[in-house]
Amino acid sequence: MNMACKTLVLVCGLLPAIPAGTVVAGEPRSGYEFIRPATREMQDDDFLNPGMFTVEKGQQLFREKPEGAGKSCAECHGDDGEGLDTGNIARYPVYKGGGLVTLQRQISICRTSATGKSLVADHPDLVALETFVRNRARGVPVNVQTDGPMQALLAKGEQLYRTRYGLIDISCFHCHGLYPGQMIRGQKISEGQGNGFPAYRLDIGEITSLEQRIQQCLTLMRAEPFDSGSEEINLLGLYIMSRSNGLKIETPAVRY
């Protein structure tokens, strides 16, 4: 058994059952507070932040003129995305058209309408576009709707967040609700907030959407991850982003 697995099993053995309605008090804390000073320095400097390469790629795609009919994203929103509503970006995921719409999904809808080219959930080009668009709203507080029709969706997302998964038999809440600040695999456990995503992960050396990070966590739990674009992954993403309300968008954050 490798060290990472031993650590997970040890933590699992210490985890208590979660009483119904358990809530961890306190203001949300960004993952930025839990990373090492050198990693903070990397995130803070656009010349050092490796996630900025994906921002630049997303900008290229944003400006890309499709062959034949259609127009680029930039023709509607400006070459640098200056026409984008950053306050609106901070509201995603949103309730629209009778259902949940993620920022990635909204970008896909707009892109398909303008260019006639569709991309599946978490396609590298779509993640790059999402990274560029979220980066335009960097510094704006996350502001996900939590009332009205969102209440039922958030309840489903929270249920998934508190469900035990896989051979490790732990939930998202166990790590990120009960044990922030404690160590696992040589790193501090964060609150698992979504304000920095898409984020550059040093562990794998690439930009990762929030939904992809959830899939990676489920794999660590020795569980079968939910599919990209599935209802479950979107509901989990919604609940996690709602926990980040009030935190400033950091995209692209740098995380382990």
**Which residues belong to the active site?**
217
- Runs of H (alpha helix) within 15-148: 37-44, 52-63, 73-77, 86-89, 103-115, 124-136
List of long-range contacts for 66-72, beta carbons under 8 Å, 24+ apart: 66/114, 66/115, 66/116, 66/117, 69/116, 70/114, 70/115, 70/116, 70/117, 71/114, 71/115, 72/114, 72/115
CA distance 138 to 140: 6
CA distance 204 to 215: 14
Q: In DSSP terms, which residues pair with 172 in a beta bridge? A: none
